[in-house]
A and B are shown apart, each in its own frame.
Chain A
């Protein structure tokens, strides 16, 4: 559905996107995961044709270059910033963006109603957006991106600044869209979101894609072993473990942590507390870049 080949974009001496290549398959939710400044948003702007790449090609929905207005009809963008008119009502915002895509008459009215329902804003449709909470605005931001029913949805950090309740509402919306078979490109710097929502994830840093695969495959390849952290009533007497004892906590890295815990328990060790830390995308990012995703 989206083909990106050797994409490069610089601003003066700063290379924002440096030879990025990936495909997003039809019906797939594809995540671009990386810290702020990794080049995710620039990639997104290149994908919607607002920016022209210095090098490389993009093909969207078989139409080709998104700098052509016709191609962009297949795309729905929910930008990172709340791209809404605060002095228009929710209904006016959605209607306006629908008209930009050529909707009119009854189909327009039906789509506007559907999108306001999706955003949970039917009751507030006549209220100006400036009176909405951050979460309501985020939901409306998504509704405006979907109003013309695009086959490809581009979501740029859609949960930034959102309260937990609205975040869950957004996740449910996105999962519903996923089930409907819509192709979604999702940028985020929250690994939990990428892990929950994305079929495949590309980890990006300094304008480059460092790794690309499904989440389990990435973890398996780069995540390393799980880590068992146990506080014991008495120091371990059995030296038959690969962990370290600092006088209070026993730390054991293990590919098979449950078996290791069972073995420890069987050896008579009495636990005060036990914590199992499985590898995740954060660990993967740390392994790939040497720093935390949130640095």
Chain B
């Protein structure tokens, strides 16, 4: 182990002596984080985009299904209808969903003329999200009129509803005069419905009524998204630092070959695996050190939240592992620094572009967010964002960490295979 550490610390010492490398792996990403964070300064809060809501249909009637369909067809909403109430509420609390819409039993009944004091629709949303709240209220109200629309389109449905309403009026606690008035209205409506020609009438000429009762249930989000733009720009800056490390250390291994020092390393009692391990460990430790330094600066000076220690530690320890794997892969792709440097940057720029290193994930359209999943950069950024402002718990960190470890292992394995080919 002493030999491997000697190799590792030699590489770290060389990194500190190469001002150009140090600039690209630390000062450039730091400048990136500060510059773009400042540029996005007024956009610390989530920007408005399509609202992602969960719909839980507990009424399970034809009318409630029509209501859910109406919501699904709204351009302003992205609807998930497979979650339980508890799961949806939890996602809203964690910020994964804007809100949930719960269609309660009795929704169909309350969509007609019968009086109902019970709530038919429950919206779970954080009251602090005023803009989204207002927008969602409007969309749900609009959709809830689906029951009345159906009745006017099918007068027999409405007639049945009117007759039931008349019976309920008789047994209600209304004053006799009120009962008389309501019954007179319902009788007139019944008479009107008897004369309606559904084939020629258009819906716009039919009467309108208040819809089902909508109640709002506050679900306080644990977090309101990024508090400052630096919380978005710093995870990206960390990734740029790691990309710099990856390219720099990949080229350093090639540099050993061109200098001839690789031959000397291999002529020592170090095995090929130990040489790669030593180089990889240097790349890993440099990555961890630079991330810690960037986070420390972000936390101390730019209000980047570092409160989720466990999740943050996972991101700090796992992400450089992934990029160490990429380092060893790229290092053995070619025989010259130019070839390796070119290949590594060409691939990593694409991964970065797709994964949110250039455009923040939060600002990407949903399809691009899905497509970005092929890039380890996305999972690395997601891990840091999760630990900083997405309020990820340990369970939420498992997927990004597992993917990053997987990519790291694949990179190391390929690097090992390619290095054998290069040596012989």
Binding site for B on A (CB under 8 A): 45, 48-52, 69-70, 72-73, 75, 77, 79-88, 92, 96-97, 99-102, 104, 144, 154
Contact = CB atoms under 8 A, between A and B. Distances in A.
Given A82-B260, A87-B17, A102 B267 contact: no
Contact of B268 (A81, A86, A101): A101
A130 to B, nearest CB: 10
A97 B263 contact: no
Given A85-B10, A87-B14, A99-B2, A72 B267 contact: yes
A49 B268 CA distance: 10
Closest 3 CB pairs of A and B: A81-B260, A83-B260, A99-B6
A69 B6 contact: no
B424 interface: yes
Interface in B373-424: 423-424
Contact of B424 (A52, A69, A73): A52
Contact of A100 (B14, B17, B268): B268
Report, as a range, how many residues of chain B touch the other chain.
20 to 34
Nearest to B5: A99
Given A51-B423, A102-B2, A72 B268 contact: yes
Interface string B263-283: 111111111001000000000
Nearest to B270: A100
B424 A85 contact: no
A83 B13 CA distance: 17
Contacts of B268: 72-73, 97, 100-101
Interface of A is mostly: loop
A36 B188 CA distance: 113
Contacts of A69: 269-271, 274
A83 B268 CA distance: 13
Contacts of B269: 69-70, 72-73, 100-102
Given A49-B267, A99-B2, A101-B268, A83 B259 contact: yes
B403 to A, nearest CB: 35
B261 interface: yes
Contacts of B260: 79-83
Contacts of A82: 259-260
Interface string B10-27: 100110011000000000
A50 B14 contact: no
A49 B265 contact: no
A88 B14 CA distance: 7
Contacts of B264: 77, 79, 83, 97, 144
Contacts of B274: 69
B3 to A, nearest CB: 5
A42 B10 CA distance: 28
A260 B115 CA distance: 140
B253 to A, nearest CB: 13
Given A87-B17, A99-B3, A51 B263 contact: no
A119 B70 CA distance: 86
A81 B7 contact: no
Contacts of A96: 6, 10
A57 B131 CA distance: 79
Given A72-B269, A85-B14, A45 B263 contact: yes
Contacts of B424: 51-52
A86 B10 CA distance: 12
A149 to B, nearest CB: 14
Interface in B245-269: 259-261, 263-269
A122 B123 CA distance: 80
A81 B258 CA distance: 9
B3 A84 contact: no
A252 to B, nearest CB: 48
Given A52-B424, A97-B268, A100-B7, A83 B261 contact: yes
Contacts of A70: 269
A81 B266 contact: no
A99 B274 CA distance: 14
A51 B3 CA distance: 21
A101 B269 CA distance: 7
A48 B270 CA distance: 12
Given A49-B267, A72-B267, A79-B264, 5 more contacts: A48-B267, A50-B263, A88-B14, A99-B3, A100-B6
A79 B263 contact: yes
Which one of A48, A73, A154 has the greatest number of beta carbons of chain B within 10 Å?
A48
B263 to A, nearest CB: 5
A52 B270 CA distance: 16
Nearest to A67: B271
A77 B423 contact: no
B206 to A, nearest CB: 84
